[in-house]
Each structure stands twice: as structure tokens, then as C-alpha cells.
Amino acid sequence: MSDSESEADFILHLQEEIDQLKEAVASHAVVDQAIGMVVALGRVAPDEGWEVLKEVSQHTNTKLRNVAELILLWGRTGDMPAEIRAELEDTLDRHGPTQIPGAPTA
């Protein structure tokens, strides 16, 4: 193998790594945005928002990123697959709204 072949292989490997990192960053952004929606609409803490996403993903056998994308789409269109919506509602019910500091107790 010549030096130019090993150099080309190295460049190809680096490009693949860059592509994977770009995908990871994009996926992370989608998940973070969905957590934000869950936190705001479900009135749960950010850690609970993450747990809600994980549980919906696990209970519906749907990749977490896909659940996050569906939540973001729901925020824009109001549409969400019935199975995901039902699981999201159930999961949020289990986690319950976080008490807002200073708000009167029920």
C-alpha cells in the first residue's frame, strides 16, 4: 500500500467520524428541544422530562430520537400517533406536575 492510499483511507475515516459527530449533535438538539416541550407542557423538572422521553421510547418500542421528533412535530401541527400520545399522557401522569415554588398546595 502506498502512502497516498493510507492517506486517502485516513481522510475517509476522518470524514466518517465527522459525519457521525454531526448526526449526534443534530440528534442531541432534537432530544433537548423535546425535553423542553415536555418540561413546559407537562410541568415537570428537566430530569423528569428526560425520564418521560426514555419511558415513552421504551414502552412504545420507538427510538428515543423518533419520539423526540414526534413531540416536536406535535408542537407544530398538533398531530401525534395515538400510541405515542397515550403513552406520553400516561407517563406524564405518573411523573405528575412538579409543584411550582410559591404556588398554593392542592
Domain ranges of the chain: 27-95
Give all strands (DSSP E) within the chain, no chain letters.
Answer: none
Alpha carbon distance 98, 9 (integer Å): 52
pLDDT, residue 105, reads 55
Mean pLDDT of the chain: 86
CB 49 within 8 A of CB 35: yes
CB 45 within 8 A of CB 98: yes
Residue 103 has pLDDT above 70, yes or no: no
CB 42 within 8 A of CB 35: no
Q: pLDDT by residue (tens digit) across 6-46?
A: 988 888 988 998 888 888 777 788 999 999 999 998 889 98
Q: Coil, strand, or helix at residue 13?
A: helix
Whole-model pTM above 0.75? no
pLDDT, residue 49, reads 93
CA distances from 32 to 69, 93, 99 (A): 11, 21, 22
Q: pLDDT by residue (tens digit) across 52-93?
A: 999 999 999 999 999 999 999 999 999 999 999 999 999 999
Q: What's the N-to-C CA distance of the chain in angstroms?
A: 74
